[in-house]
Amino acid sequence: MGGQLPADARRRRVTAPVLDDDLRAALDAFAARPRVLVASDYDGCVSPIVARPEDAVPNPRSMAALERCATAPGAFAALVSGRARADLRALSGASDALTLVGSHGAEFAEGFDSPITDGQRDLLNEIIDDFRSISARFPGTSVEVKPISTTLHVRNATPDDGAAALDLAETGPASWDGVHVTHGKAVIELAVIETSKGHALDRLRAAMGVDAVLYLGDDVTDEKAFAHLRPGDVGVKVGGGPTAARYRVADPDGVAAVLETIASLRVAAS
Ligand SMILES: O=P(O)(O)OC[C@H]1O[C@H](O[C@H]2O[C@H](CO)[C@@H](O)[C@H](O)[C@H]2O)[C@H](O)[C@@H](O)[C@@H]1O
């Protein structure tokens, strides 16, 4: 039939998106560096975006590839997520070989750099109360509570209700002193300390002593990570939208293809 791909190519498209030549060349060069860190965002990258945050299961191909990277000589692997670190561990099922950073880059295995003050704890509780009042008014919205932040989810609300709920959050607690605002996919998130996935990558780069970093991300918060990449690093934006990343894949299957490629190259090299 005119224009139809051969059966093996159709199968390949479903199971393994082909990486474009520029990205494939960048991955080859990256994998040849002596010490590397392979890091990815979780939601929208290793896991597809789903209706309920608690249902965000990982793509097993991506997790297997990350685990292979983590145990290959000279390679490290990390998940850097907006999730609470404990939730990230539970959802991803990551082994201890993987480095997990939660709370948008602020929460490491050792905890936070400095514990939040009593004043910040009170502020967080006020924001949570306000979010809960907003959520009670708009069906389909929900509130996620994390160690230093809270998220108002509107994915399951009608467009009008979602917009109204977000507007109340913006004009309410998002405008309070000491509150740090992150916009995401059908969410607004308010934190009581500043967070940065870019600073998290800097810290991992120094601690691991790596020559290059690969980072995959799909959301606004990942732009802080892309902004901290250096020559020889590889930034991969997942999906559409403006980005500072040089490369792009379409979706979590593309993420799996990137991670499997790096894992195979590193294992083959060893
Ligand atoms: O940095 P990430 O790992 O990408 O985390 C960002 C936020 O992800 C979660 O929310 C997003 O994914 C949900 C599940 O697919 C989806 O329902 C929601 O609409 C998305 O915004 C998570 O719940 C947040 O806490 C993270 O900050």
The domains of the chain are located at 20-111+195-250, 118-191
Residue nearest to atom 25 of ligand 1 (CA): 83
Strands of the sheet with 75-80, listed across from one edge: 99-101, 75-80, 36-40, 212-217, 234-238, 247-249
CATH no., domain 118-191:
3.30.70.1020
Q: Is 83 close to ligand 1, i.e. is its CB under 6 Å away?
A: yes
Q: Which of 40, 41, 43 to mutate to test the pocket of ligand 1 (most atoms within 8 A of CB)?
A: 43
> How confident is the prediction along the chain (270 residues), in pLDDT tens digits per residue?
333 444 544 444 445 567 999 999 999 999 999 999 999 999 999 999 999 999 999 999 999 999 999 999 999 999 999 999 999 999 999 999 999 999 999 999 999 988 899 999 999 999 999 999 999 999 999 999 999 999 999 999 999 999 999 999 999 999 999 999 999 999 999 999 999 999 999 999 999 999 999 999 999 999 999 999 999 999 999 999 999 999 999 999 999 999 999 999 998 887
So what's the architecture of 20-111+195-250 in CATH? Answer: 3-Layer(aba) Sandwich (3.40)
User: How far apart are alpha carbons 63 and 59 in whole angstroms?
Assistant: 6
Q: Is 130 close to ligand 1, i.e. is its CB under 6 Å away?
A: no
Asked whether this chain's domains 20-111+195-250 and 118-191 adopt the same fold, the reply is: no
Q: Is 260 close to ligand 1, i.e. is its CB under 6 Å away?
A: no
Q: Is 85 close to ligand 1, i.e. is its CB under 6 Å away?
A: no
- Chain length of the chain: 270
User: How far apart are alpha carbons 25 and 15 in whole angstroms?
Assistant: 21
